[in-house]
């Protein structure tokens, strides 16, 4: 039974557009400013899955311009969607514990054949705010 409100201490927002993958490639999501939060995690979901492998990683930046790959020691969990893990399971979660102010979710599609891919959505949950309530 839920007895505590988390809406006032979290912020949930889109990390990517509703991306339709029909070919192999990568997309970078929206820039997420982590300045007012101490914790975050990304969630990855798929819809209309037809094939391929989709791997989420995090890129980071101090200036919101020059993004680089995040060192694996700052990532928790793994977010890979395949035929075995697609629409029948919970979202895949990827945590970030790095020190950069800006982060983006990067989704890379591989093994797509004949234009049969998937629609992928990325979300971010920011929590442990420096000041609450979050508006």
Over range 103-120, report the average pLDDT: 89
Q: Give the long-range contacts of residues 35-39, CB within 8 A, separation 24 or more.
A: 35/101, 36/126, 36/129, 36/130, 36/131, 36/134, 37/11, 37/126, 37/127, 37/128, 37/129, 37/130, 38/127, 38/128, 38/129, 38/130, 39/126, 39/127, 39/128
Q: Where are the domains of the chain?
A: 9-128
**pLDDT tens profile 47-91:** 777 788 889 999 999 999 999 999 999 999 988 887 655 555 678
* Residue range 9-128, CATH number: 2.60.120.660
* pLDDT greater than 90 at residue 132: no
């Amino acid at each position: 039974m839920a007895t505590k409100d988390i809406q006032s201490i979290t912020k949930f927002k889109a990390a990517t557009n509703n991306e339709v993958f029909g070919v192999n490639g990568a997309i970078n999501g929206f820039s997420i400013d982590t300045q007012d939060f101490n914790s975050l995690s990304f969630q990855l979901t798929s819809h209309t899955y037809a094939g391929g492998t989709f791997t989420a990683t995090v890129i980071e930046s101090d200036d919101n311009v020059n993004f680089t790959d995040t060192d694996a020691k700052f990532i928790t969990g793994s977010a890979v969607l395949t035929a075995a893990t697609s629409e029948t399971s919970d979202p895949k979660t990827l945590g970030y514990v790095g020190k950069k102010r800006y982060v983006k979710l990067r989704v890379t599609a591989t093994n797509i054949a004949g234009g049969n891919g998937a629609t992928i959505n990325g979300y971010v949950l920011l929590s442990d705010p420096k000041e609450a309530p979050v508006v």
